Structure 1
Amino acid sequence: MIVNKSVVGIHIISHEAHGLLAGKIANEIKPEFRPRHWFETLIAICEHDDRQLNFKEKDYLSDMGVPMDFNEERSSVHEVMTRMQRVLKAAGDKSSWVKLLISYHLEFIYAHMKADSKRISRFFTEEEKARGHILEQFKVSDKTGRTYYEVLRFCDRLSLILCKDQAPEAERLLEINTSINGETYFIKKTENGVLTITPWIFSATEFELSVEERILKETKFTSNQHFETVLMGSKPQPKKWLLKKSEG
């Protein structure tokens, strides 16, 4: 989960909501930048971070009883393996194309663990073979498949920047990443709070995005169950942004 703090309280955005926001971003991209099998690609983007929050499997509180942002969590090899297998199973049940893109994404996130875990290293070796069969099925090279994955990576990163309120003030540029068509993308917040992306790869000259967050006035919890009860009992609220093409 994504955790932000303010004077109001703790703001919680689920990874599922973040994924949906990534899908909304993708839906605004010009057709010329969209890979083949676009509908399945949208599904992969929307669901790329699903099945993360599970209070029965994991403690989401720090030693001080404060909800932890996903960047603060430390996952074991077993937890990572369980999640990867679960996500790939769900993706494969929908579509081989969805599974292909999710597989690339899991590699992007967890490949650094291969050096320290033979189990994860073996997993990705097998996954590379599985991707090969899918690529052959769709008559697509690995290079092309990875090019298509860049759309997911762009939308994922931009969604996280928005969810984490990372767009800098004073109209300073923040790099999103180098992804679609090999371009490096930047985000900037104008004086009136409007966001602009350069280069602009969207169909409309301006559009609105939103994600649901839950704001908790309590900042510390006695147990995971206590946190879950308060979180699930809170009302989702929309967090919105206006994105507009730069006039310059």
Structure 2
Amino acid sequence: MIVSKNSEGWKIYFHKAHALLAMDIGLSIDHQNWPIRKYLAGGLESIGEHDNGQPRWNASDNLNSLGAPLDYRDRKEVDLEQAQSVVRSAQYKSSFIAIMVSMHCHKLYSDSQDAKVQSFLSEQATMREGYMKLNSLSSKVISQCYQFLRFCDDLSLALCQDESCNKKVVSIDPILGEEEVKLSRNDDGSYSLDPWIFYEDKLIFPIEYFQTSKKVYKDDEDLKKDIDILRPYRSEFVFVR
């Protein structure tokens, strides 16, 4: 969950919604930035797939020590079961998508000191090598493909976390080359990117979120009941060249 506080309670973007936003961004980027045309569909699908798997509503796993919804940045332990599930699901869809999702797991969890997590990452590296050999894909090309996914993920997170409210300009690592992409928020609330990498001169990216009615919960079930899944709220991120 991506959690921010407001006057009513908590604004929550679930990671599946963030991943959909990232995929929408990927669809709008000039695909000259994508290195392998025949894997374009798989690449775009991997952007939407990479953050699937909501942690289970169980005890108080989705709450912090004060009983507030737990933002993903404050989650201390790796949910290994979730990571394994996301990769396994991708494997049934496409070996290429599995490579992309596996690389994202490496990015997220490589610093973990947990022996089980490191064992998982080692198994993932072996799996990726096998799939790359099977598909005659080089490490360089795979890295370029993953940079595309990573950029879409980073931009989506910057929007959901409203980073431009805290910084006048947010720097995002580029897809290609060394020049960082600058995200800025205009006076009218719209956004701009420099350099501009989208097909169109104006874009609207929708995303749904949920609003809680209180600030503290006794357990996960209490939070789950307060989230009205049938009444999502809607944000729109407008980009103008």
Residue in 2 aligned with 1:29?
A: 29
Name the SS of the counterpart of 1:180 in structure 2. Answer: coil
Aligned to 2:52: 50
What is the SS of the residue equivalent to 2:58? coil
Letter in 2 for 1:229: K
Name the aligned partner's letter for residue 226 of structure 1.
D
Provide the C-alpha distance between the structure 2 equivalents of 1:190 and 1:207, rounded to a whole number of angstroms. 14
Give the distance between the partners of 2:50 and 2:102, measured in 1 at CA. 9
Listed one character per residue, the Cα deviations across residues 39-87 of structure 1 (whole Å, up to 9, x for unaligned) are 11111101111103320376211222111111112225xx3x2122111
Equivalent in the alignment of 2:96: 97
Listed as ranges, the matches of 1:126-141 within 5 Å are 126-141=123-138
TM-score by length of 2: 0.93
Q: Measure how far apart 1:160 and its partner are.
A: 0.5
* CA separation of 1:75 and 1:197: change in aligned 2, threshold 3 A: same
Distance 1:19 1:122 in 2: 26
**Do 1:221 and 1:227's aligned partners in 2 also have CA atoms closer than 8 Å?**
yes
- State the secondary structure of the residue aligned to 1:149: helix
Deviation of the 1:169 alpha carbon: 6.8
Q: CA deviation at 1:168?
A: 3.5
Residue of structure 1 equivalent to 2:109? 110
Correspondences of 1:48-197 after superposition (within 5 Å): 48-56=50-58, 59-76=61-78, 79=79, 81-113=80-112, 116-168=113-165, 172-197=168-193
Distance 1:134 1:182 in 2: 28
- Opposite residue 7 of structure 2, the aligned amino acid is V
Gaps of 5+ in 2: none
Deviation at 1:125, TM superposition (A): 2.1
**Which residue of structure 2 aligns with residue 206 of structure 1?**
202
Structure 2 CA distance for partners of 1:181 and 1:219, relative to 1, 3 Å:
same
Q: Deviations over 1:126-153 (max 9, x none)?
A: 2212111111122111121011100110
Moved more, 148-157 or 210-219: 210-219
Task: Report the AA paired with residue 126 of structure 1.
Answer: E
Shift of 1:180: 3.4
Q: Percent identity, please.
A: 26
TM-score by length of 1: 0.90
Q: Does the Cα contact within 8 Å between 2:8 and 2:214 map onto a contact in 1?
A: no
Contact persistence 1:215–1:234 (CA under 8 A): no
The alpha carbon displacement at 1:234 in A equals 6.0
CA RMSD of aligned residues (A): 1.8
Give the aligned partner of residue 20 of structure 1. 20
Match of 1:7 in 2: 7
